[in-house]
Amino acid sequence: MEKIYDVIIIGAGPAGLSAAIYAGRSRLSTLIIEGNAEGGQIVTTSEIANYPGAEENESGPSLIARMVAQAEGFGAEFLRASVTDVILDCDPKIISCGSAEYYARSVIIASGAQPARIGCPGEAELTGAGVSYCATCDGPFFDGLPVYVVGGGDAAVEEAIYLARFASKVYIIHRRDTLRAAKSIQDKAFAEPKIEFLWNTTVEEIKGEDFMESMTLLNVKDGTRTEVSGQFGLFVFVGFKPNSALFEGLLETERGYIKTDSEMRTSLPGVFAAGDIRVKSLRQVVTAVSDGAVAAVSAEKYLDEQAG
Ligand SMILES: Cc1cc2nc3c(=O)[nH]c(=O)nc-3n(C[C@H](O)[C@H](O)[C@H](O)COP(=O)(O)OP(=O)(O)OC[C@H]3O[C@@H](n4cnc5c(N)ncnc54)[C@H](O)[C@@H]3O)c2cc1C
């Protein structure tokens, strides 16, 4: 007989780890499956300053290491594998990682999301070292310094307005000569004296050793190049992609994000979603761990109800 877990958690980012801590502590047999290193998006950041109780100079990896130890301490089992298929409308639910199958009475989806990249040389190497995808997380690090924002949609322009609180100047780099953002957001940006637009422009290359030192901008209309150097930040908002391909057509979604109620219940009984993967307004570690805790408690209630 294959083991049937009380709960299988897909993804060991902050949401999944928090769910594992709560499920494990409630003595639910818990398997957490992670395709990469534990920690999700936050392991790419060298400083997390806005998580309540974070230690001085707390890094993403150090915070995650403590969460992993806590989840293991409460008995959660960890498996390093990518989930490749799911059958969720049956009991037990079946989670496949290649040819291996795992079974559970309930499932918490915490597969997160990932910011879209510009795709230029230097971007990956300097992420977290001058290149950021999160204004709420990293904006205050650039107090009094110029920042460059890439993108022309709602997120880019809204975040540029937010960054104007800290930065000495905000340049919006947009590859076209008009914005895609809603008119009301555009109006606010045009009225903000700190914001300047670099139209028809893309980032061609980002350079630096341990930290970003310079970048080359290309004017796509006239082909001229401009070198930006000194201390500055580069914030990229060219889209955000939920890791939800596996669940398409199985669960109710909105623009790829899984819909839940406030108890983290999805459209299928016994299936919960937590963290960046779900429809929500603030995607941060603090909200991800909150979702994970709620999802685990909801899974426990669901299991109790099933047991009658
Ligand atoms: C560069 C950067 C800096 C940030 N800085 C901050 C900050 O300072 N403060 C803050 O609060 N927030 C910050 N954030 C946001 C924060 O990291 C996210 O909100 C948070 O990580 C979301 O947690 P999550 O568990 O929902 O998802 P994720 O962190 O995305 O984790 C999801 C996990 O699921 C795994 N997974 C996905 N699909 C599968 C599959 N099929 N099989 C197995 N595993 C799978 C992924 O590998 C990943 O490990 C930052 C984000 C980025 C990108």
- Span 50-100, pLDDT tens digits: 999 998 888 899 999 999 999 999 999 999 999 999 999 999 999 999 999
Asked if the model's pLDDT at residue 44 lies above 80, the reply is no
Between 44 and 3, whose confidence is greater? 3
Give me the percent of the chain exceeding a pLDDT of 90. Answer: 88
What's the confidence (pLDDT) of residue 118?
Answer: 96
Q: Which atom of ligand 1 is nearest the CA belonging to 246? A: 41
Q: Which atom of ligand 1 is nearest to the CA of 43?
A: 17
Active site residues: 134, 137-138
Q: Is 36 in the pocket of ligand 1 (CB under 6 A)?
A: yes
Q: Is the CB of 137 under 6 A from ligand 1?
A: yes
- Name the CATH superfamily housing domain 117-236: FAD/NAD(P)-binding domain (3.50.50.60)
Question: What confidence tier does 1 reach under pLDDT thresholds 50, 70, 90?
Answer: low
pLDDT of 48 reads 86
Q: How confident is the model at residue 139, as a pLDDT?
A: 92
Average pLDDT over residues 142-157: 95
Is the pLDDT assigned to residue 31 strictly greater than 90?
A: yes
Q: CA 305 to CA 297: how far, in whole Å? A: 12
Q: Which of 10, 32, 34, 42 to mutate to test the pocket of ligand 1 (most atoms within 8 A of CB)?
A: 42
Helix residue spans in 10-59 (DSSP H): 14-25
Q: Which atom of ligand 1 is nearest to the CA of 37?
A: 49
For residue 32 and ligand 1, the question of a CB distance below 6 A is answered with no
Overall pTM surpassing 0.95 (yes/no): no
CA distances from 58 to 51, 160, 173, 285 (A): 9, 26, 31, 13
Q: Is the pLDDT of residue 4 over 90?
A: yes
Residue closest to 278 by CA, chosen among 263, 258, 295:
258
- Geometric angle at alpha carbon 42, from 252 and 288, rounded to 5°: 40
Dihedral, 54, 57, 60, 64 alpha carbons, nearest 10 = -50
Model confidence pLDDT, tens digit, residues 116-131 = 999 999 999 999 899 9
Given a contact cutoff of 8 angstroms between Cβ atoms, the answer to whether 159 and 237 are in contact is yes
pLDDT of residue 57: 85
State the average pLDDT for the chain.
95
Domain range summary for the chain, segments of one domain joined by +: 4-114+240-307, 117-236
CA 13 to centroid of ligand 1, rounded, Å = 5
pLDDT tens digits, residue range 221-248?
999 999 999 999 999 999 889 999 999 9
- The answer regarding whether domain 4-114+240-307 maps to CATH 3.40.30.10 reads no
